[in-house]
Each structure stands twice: as C-alpha cells, then as structure tokens.
Amino acid sequence: MTAEIITIGDEILIGQIVDTNSAFLGKVLNKIGVSIYQITSVQDDKAHILKSLQEAEDNADIIIITGGLGPTKDDITKHTICEYFNDTLVEDKAVLAHVEHLFSKYISTPISDLNRQQSLVPSKAKVLMNQYGTAPGMWLEKSGKVFVSLPGVPYEMKALITNKVIPLLREKYHFPFIRHKTLLTYGLGESAIANRIEDWQDALPDFIKLAYLPNLGKVRLRLSGKSVDKTLLESEIDKQIALLLPQIEDIFVGFEDDGSIEAILGKQLGSLGKTIAIAESCTGGQIAKAITTNAGASKYFKGSVVSYATKSKINILGVSEDAIDSHSVVSKEVAESMAINVRKLFNSDYGLSTTGNAGPSKGDSDAEVGTVWIAIATENEVYSEVFNFGNHRDKVIMKATNKAFEMLQKEILKK
Amino acid sequence: MTAEIITIGDEILIGQIVDTNSAFLGKVLNKIGVSIYQITSVQDDKAHILKSLQEAEDNADIIIITGGLGPTKDDITKHTICEYFNDTLVEDKAVLAHVEHLFSKYISTPISDLNRQQSLVPSKAKVLMNQYGTAPGMWLEKSGKVFVSLPGVPYEMKALITNKVIPLLREKYHFPFIRHKTLLTYGLGESAIANRIEDWQDALPDFIKLAYLPNLGKVRLRLSGKSVDKTLLESEIDKQIALLLPQIEDIFVGFEDDGSIEAILGKQLGSLGKTIAIAESCTGGQIAKAITTNAGASKYFKGSVVSYATKSKINILGVSEDAIDSHSVVSKEVAESMAINVRKLFNSDYGLSTTGNAGPSKGDSDAEVGTVWIAIATENEVYSEVFNFGNHRDKVIMKATNKAFEMLQKEILKK
C-alpha cells in the first residue's frame, strides 16, 4: 500500500514556511503500514495541481493533499479538486453551523460570505469535520483510490489525520501488521550505543529492524517489525526489548508511546505525589514551557522563576551578592543556591536550576559561550554539574533543557 | 526562469527528518529571480530517481538535487546521475586530497576505501569543492539545462549554494528582478483583512501579487513582484506599500525582514531603553521563552515568574488571597495584580501578565477552557483584556502569547 503526499502553497515553494506536515504524515502513515512513494510540493496553480493529482493517482493508492483551503482568493485547492472529480460544490449544513459557531464564540470580527463559503464542499466528498478550524477535510474516492484533502494548518491537519483519516483508512484496507516500539535514551551518543548493543542487534530476526534517531543529546531507538502474524510479531518485539533493556538501563528514559521525556517525568512525579519548581537563567523559560505543554502539569509543577537579570537572582531567588561577586553568575555556587531557594520559594519537593551562557556573546559572566551549570536541590541535598553545549544559541538552550530533564529523572528514580 | 528541487532519501519519506533544505533553496533561488516550479522528495531508489530527473528536466530550467551522496550503500544518487548522463565516474585528485585531509585532521577512525570513493565524480561534471564535508557538489549541463547535485547535510549544502552555485547561476543566466516584501499583522483574521483591503488588492498591477499567510492570530501579507525593470518594480512595490499601510495601521507590527514580533518588540524596547518583566500563569513560560530566543534579550528582559500554583501567585507575586477568593485566579483583578507586582518585583518599566485556563479541563477556577486574561502595568496605569482562545491547549498558549506581544507593542508605541 503506497501513498503520495501533495502539499499545496506558494509559501512552501518560496521557502517562507518549512513543510513539517509531510514528515508528520510520513510518520503516521508508515506506522499503519503505508509507504510514502513521493512527496510533491506544488504551487497554488490550477493546472499544476491537476497535473500532480493525475501523477499521484498513477503512482499511489492513497493521495493526501494539504493546504490551499483558506477562505481567500489565492486558495484554490477545493475548486481544483472539484474540477478533477468533475463535481460541483454544495453547501454542507453541519460545516456551516460549525463555522458560524466558531465565529460567534471565538472571533470578534463579523462572519463574512468568504467565511461561510468554507462550508461548500464537493458533492461526492465525505466531509471530515475540522474541530479546530473552519476548513473541513474532504475524503473522495476514484477507481479504488482514496483522495484526502486537508487544511495546511498543522494542528488542524494533525487532528483530522489522527481522529478521522487513520480510522477510515483502517476500515477500508487490510494493512499488514506493523509494530513500532521506540525507546528514549539520553546521555550516550549514537555510535557508543551501537557499539554497546552490537551483539543484540546482530541477533535480531529478519522481520525486525532497528533505527537510531539522534537529537540533541537524546537518541531514540526504534524497533520496527512487519508481519502477517500479529501474535508472533508482538511476542518477538517484547522478547527483544526484554533482552535490550538490561543493556541500556543507565540511559533508558521510557517508551515514546508514553510521551516526551517531560510527559514521562510528569507521570513519575504525579505517581510519587512529588512537586517541582524551577529557577531558569540561560534556558529563559524553555524548561517551564516544556513542562507546561503537558496537560495536567499543575499537579506536579509549582512554577518557575526566570531570573534573567542578575539582580533578580538576588532579589527574588535570594542568591547572595557575595556568591555572585566571588564566583560569577555562571557558577556551581549560584546554580546550587538558585535550586535550594526556588525549592523553598515554591515549597516544592525538588528544585531545579540552570545558569549559563547561551551566547552568542558573553553576558554578565566570563564563562565561555555554551557553559551551563545545572543544579538539583532536594530536602536533604543539593548537587550540580557543568556542561559545555557548544556555540549555537538554540542548541545550547535545548541541550541544557534535555540534560536538566535527564538529571531530574535520575534524581526522581533514585532508590 | 524556473527550478525544481529534488530531495532524495528514505528518511524524509518516513518522516524521520523534516526537509528544511527545500525551504532554504526556495528562499535563496527566489531572491535571484528563479521561481521554484516544484519540490519533489523521492526514495533512495534508482528507477524513482531517474523518473524524477526526467520529469524535472521537462518542467524546469535548473534542477537542484540534494541528498544520497553519503559513503554507504543506500546512497545511490551519484551512480544514478552518472547513468542519467550516460557518463562514467572518474577520480578527482583534488577531492581525494581534501577527503584525506579531513580524515587526518578531524576524524579519529581510519580512512576507508568507501571514504576514498567520495572522490569519484561523473567525468562531465564540474566539481564544487565541499569545504565542510567529504561529498563534493556536482554541476552538469544537458540541452541547456543545469543539474546540480549537493549533499543533504544542511550546512554543507548551504555553503555550496551560497559560495558556488548562486555565483555560477548568475554567471550563466540573466535573471528577471524579483522583490518580496512581507508585512506582519496581528489582531485581525485573514478574511477580515481581505475584506478591508479588497479595493487596494484589486488595483494591484499584474506583476505584483499578494498572499495571506495566517498563523495563530498573526497574518503575514506578502507582496511579490517580478519584472525585468528593477527600478519600476522597486518603486511600484514601495508605492503599493505606502497605499496599504494607512489601511492596516492598527494591525501592522512591522516588516518580516526585521524578524519575529518578539525580535521587533525587543528592538523597540531596546531603542527606548525600557525593560519588561512577566508573570505567566497559563502560558507556562512560553512568553519568556519566546523573548529569550532572541540573542541580546538580557538588555530589555528582566525576567519572569511562572506562577503555576495558585499559592505562588500569593507568596511570590503578592496577589491578595482576597482577590483570588472573590474573583478566582482567572480574573481581571488577579491578572492586573500580577502585572503590577511583577513590575515592582523585577523593577522593570513594563509588567505583563497572563492568567487563564489552557485546558483541556478546568483548573483552580471555574473559567471556561480557553479563557485568558492578559494585563499590562506601567508606571502610571494598569489595564487588561479577556479573550477566549478556543479549546486546543497548544493553540490557547500560542494565541495568548501572540496577543500578549500585540498588547505590549501597542503599549510601547503609545504616543
């Protein structure tokens, strides 16, 4: 079973936006056993869209089209699909009601005819209601092939794919059974992990493959198996994971199905009934932001002080001026004092802090660009580590964030 | 003059990596007057690559191919291009010397025959030396069309494009002049803007196009023009912008060339010598994080308190228990108190606060999911507004963040 992805929009071709939708689609379709034959990005141009639809129909069984469904003149996907299917647009009452509801509830400007026209859909289409926006998804079939047109806004598209399109595809087709299991690790590089688990990897059965997916201090290990025998596949993957886990115990974070490391950490804190507070300097709010992206974070996250100005480390976090004068703001002493004091300030079980220099130039300290101290305070102790995360600002912030979560999880799981 | 981009690699099609190369290529080629006809991502498969090369040759004048030039077996681009050009591979002495130099200087593992084979290139190719890696770029011509094959590693590809390919293209072709100008707006939806500026848009000359690029409460308006007459094009785009600006004065943030709204805001604060501090509840650190993504934020950003737990609003931010009991944590009174107090706490010129419910369920308040109060405090006043940003957690956080920046910019620019 193959699919082709067509992304429509001049903004992709002129490089104004990076097409992240295709990677998402590739990932989720692969998971259910659909291989992507090709990704094609085309202009908001009728002839071009028609040509790409025809080529995709020749190449693949499933054609997923994103973009070009907005209410303005430059968005022509819907009309073009209508022409391709020799169809006409008809008003869908449910979509119209939904659009009117969204406008009355969330949008201050009055609804216009352009907005109402979002409820026009090809008469042959099955309408996929878009919970988060005004442009519905559309499912059409032609000579046994499926065409799905979705809005280009990533979170709208993702919700439609997850809640509507994947279930419909599963209903329509019998996919071979595929199982992916991804293990999150941290603290060790790709080739070091590969060296360590070489014997295990070499002994994997043919129908199970391993991929290394490295990203800023974290490496994901993905086991993928494909078989018509579901029971065999499941038991074999479980068996292989049971063999693997003892070899990576020190670097294993959790399974990706359980969510990101922040989500896993949140569940662990939640089940222990423990809470955390954070004092961030160089990470500038990134750690708090990553934690609060998870719904329900208020159960275990008390809050954070982003003490960007040096004075705020003294006034709010109660770091002593003396410590700053003697050791500089980027130091073990300041990091540990921040962690101790933020824990007290928020009355939490754990205190976590970062202080460093994310670059590009030196700040209130002589510390080299990339230097970051991370400290953890508990009821009984405080400790810290220093790192150099390189000279690329975003990378330093993200690596420090990942490392902070790594240290925190190790602390939480201490026996 | 048109180009097609072909990106080669299974890792793109299975969604393991996001193809950021194409957006870069689209941007730089557009700048010199080359329109991208299509972006095509194909598998590491000979037949598929040959087919896409033929189609690209039919569609475009310039074909840029990235990826598939590594030393391992799955990388087959070079051999496939050789077959397409009916050519043979020959060793390039300069490339071999470069590969050997890179290994002796930077790489701890010994050089292998696979590494040395990186110096094999099609005999008809002009070799483009790759400063940062072992795989050279290759420039080939066929029936007046240019084919350029480049490594997929982004920083290697970018250096080759900037230093080698663009100068060679400029040498070979006379390009029409292209100009893009993008205006950032906030506070009004795409169709409301379209309604408002319809007359202006309809009167645009043929060679200037307008596109709407909406994103969570912000809409970018992109004017694109193409002409052989550079002077005419520049003066006409300037003239159109001068006509447009008075119509969007209340929603205009700045030009995209000046950076994101946070970056523009930072520059404005910096040039006024003013500082800001933030008290975030439902946005959970996102506002601080967005501000500190910009290098040099320490000049105007004093810090933030992420007061997630209700108690921290009282203990750290000094909001009165009374206000919370009488009005709930999601209220005008609490938002304004947070803004006033965080301004004092950090001794900043402006205080900004958010308190709301990002969902998915109700928290320490009865406020409906999506409700967010945003307040701004200055030396002389405090005021706030309430919004409902919908029922999608990430969207609520991002829309609240964008709206906070909008309110802050309006405050800063008040006369």
- Residue B62 sits in a domain of what CATH number? 3.40.980.10
pLDDT of residue B73: 67
Same domain, B131 and B36: yes
Taking CB atoms and an 8 Å limit, are B312 and A293 in contact across chains? no
Determine phi and psi for A310, rounding to 5 degrees: -55, -40
Complex ipTM tops 0.85? no
Handedness of CA B147, B150, B152, B158 (dihedral sign): negative
Same domain, A346 and A200: no
Tokens coding A283:
């990470």
Residue A275, CB half-sphere, CA atoms under 13 Å: how many? Answer: 18
Nearest to B301 among A308, A360, A361 (CB): A308
User: Which of B34, B287, B289, B365 should we substitute to test contact with A (largest number of A Cβ atoms within 10 Å)?
Assistant: B289
Nearest to A308 among B302, B309, B363 (CB): B302
Using the predicted structure, report yes or no on whether residue A341 has a pLDDT greater than 90.
yes
pLDDT tens-digit series, residues A377-414: 999 999 999 998 877 788 889 989 999 999 999 999 88
Asked whether the beta carbons of A12 and B26 are under 8 A apart, the reply is yes
pTM of the model: 0.77
Q: Distance between CA atoms of A20 and B16, rounded to whole angstroms?
A: 11
Using the predicted structure, report yes or no on whether residue A47 has a pLDDT greater than 70.
yes
pLDDT of residue B96: 95
Tokens coding A324:
């700053």
Same domain, B27 and B167: yes
Among A55-64, A246-255, A297-306, the range scoring the smallest mean pLDDT is A246-255
Q: How many angstroms away from the CA of B395 is the closest CA of chain A?
A: 8
The residues, any chain, with a CB within 8 Å of residue A206's CB and separated by 6 or more, are: none
Asked whether the beta carbons of B44 and B68 are under 8 A apart, the reply is yes
Tell me, letter by letter, the H, E, C secondary structure of A153-203: CHHHHHHHHHHHHHHHHHHHCCCCEEEEEEEEEECCCHHHHHHHCHHHHHC
Same domain, B14 and B57: yes
Concatenate the DSSP letters of all residues of A347-377 into one string.
T-SEEEEEEE--SSS--SS-PPTTEEEEEEE
Same domain, A360 and A326: yes
Asked whether the beta carbons of B258 and B238 are under 8 A apart, the reply is no
Q: How many angstroms away from the CA of A315 is the closest CA of chain B?
A: 8
Using the predicted structure, report yes or no on whether residue A35 has a pLDDT greater than 70.
yes
pLDDT tens-digit series, residues B69-102: 877 666 789 999 999 999 999 999 999 999 999 8
Say if residue B205 is preceded by a cis peptide, omega within 30 of 0: no
Show which of B243, B258, B273 is a domain's final residue: B258
Task: Return the residue matching tokens 């009174």.
Answer: B333
Q: Distance between CA atoms of B131 and B159, rounded to whole angstroms?
A: 8
Using the predicted structure, report yes or no on whether residue B249 has a pLDDT greater than 70.
yes
DSSP letter at A319 equals -
Same domain, B79 and B126: yes
3-state secondary structure of A284: coil
Asked whether the beta carbons of B21 and B11 are under 8 A apart, the reply is no
DSSP letter at B174 equals -
pLDDT of residue B107: 67
What is the average per-residue pLDDT within B204-217? 86
pLDDT of residue B30: 87
- Residue B250 sits in a domain of what CATH number? 3.30.70.2860
Taking CB atoms and an 8 Å limit, are A285 and B292 in contact across chains? yes
Q: Which residues of B touch A363 (CB under 8 A)?
A: 298
**Between chain A and chain B, how many beta carbons pairs sit less than 8 Å apart?**
286
Q: Which residues of B touch A14 (CB under 8 A)?
A: 26-27, 30, 36, 180, 224
Asked whether the beta carbons of A268 and A412 are under 8 A apart, the reply is yes
Handedness of CA B4, B7, B12, B18 (dihedral sign): negative
Same domain, B168 and B181: no
User: Which of B8, B17, B39, B158 should we substitute to test contact with A (largest number of A Cβ atoms within 10 Å)?
Assistant: B39
**Helix or strand run (H / E) with residue A101:** helix A93-106
Q: Which own/partner pairs from A47-52 qualify as long-range (CB within 8 Å, at least 24 positions apart)?
A: A48/B37, A48/B38, A49/A6, A49/A8, A49/A76, A49/A77, A49/A80, A50/A80, A50/A83, A50/A84, A52/A6, A52/B38
DSSP letter at B247 equals G
Q: Which residues of A touch B36 (CB under 8 A)?
A: 13-15
Q: Distance between CA atoms of B64 and B212, rounded to whole angstroms?
A: 28
- Residue A371 sits in a domain of what CATH number? 3.90.950.20
Show which of B258, B279, B309 is a domain's final residue: B258
In chain A, the number of structural domains is 3
Same domain, A146 and A200: no
Query: Rounded mean pLDDT of chain B?
Result: 92
Q: Which residues of B touch A262 (CB under 8 A)?
A: none
Same domain, B367 and B319: yes
Alpha-carbon separation of residue A128 from A165, A337, B205, B390, B414 (angstroms):
8, 54, 38, 19, 45
Q: Distance between CA atoms of B384 and B389, rounded to whole angstroms?
A: 16
Quote the domain boundaries for residue A216. 177-258
**A154 exposed, middle or buried (CB, 10 Å; 0-12, 13-18, 19+)?**
middle
Taking CB atoms and an 8 Å limit, are A26 and B36 in contact across chains? no
Taking CB atoms and an 8 Å limit, are B25 and A15 in contact across chains? yes
Nearest to B289 among A159, A213, A286 (CB): A286
Handedness of CA B290, B293, B299, B301 (dihedral sign): positive
Same domain, B393 and B312: yes
Using the predicted structure, report yes or no on whether residue A209 has a pLDDT greater than 90.
no
Taking CB atoms and an 8 Å limit, are B211 and A43 in contact across chains? no
Nearest CA in chain B to A291: B284
Q: What percent of chain A has pLDDT over 90?
A: 69
Q: How many angstroms away from the CA of B90 is the closest CA of chain A?
A: 31
Averaging pLDDT over each range in A338-352, A391-405, B104-118, B206-220, which range is the top one? A338-352
Show which of B228, B258, B288 is a domain's final residue: B258
Same domain, A304 and A219: no
Query: Beta-carbon neighbour count of residue A260 at 10 Å?
Result: 17
Using the predicted structure, report yes or no on whether residue A284 has a pLDDT greater than 80.
yes
Same domain, B146 and B135: yes
3-state secondary structure of A308: coil
Band of pLDDT at residue B109, cut at 50, 70 and 90: low
Nearest CA in chain A to B41: A39
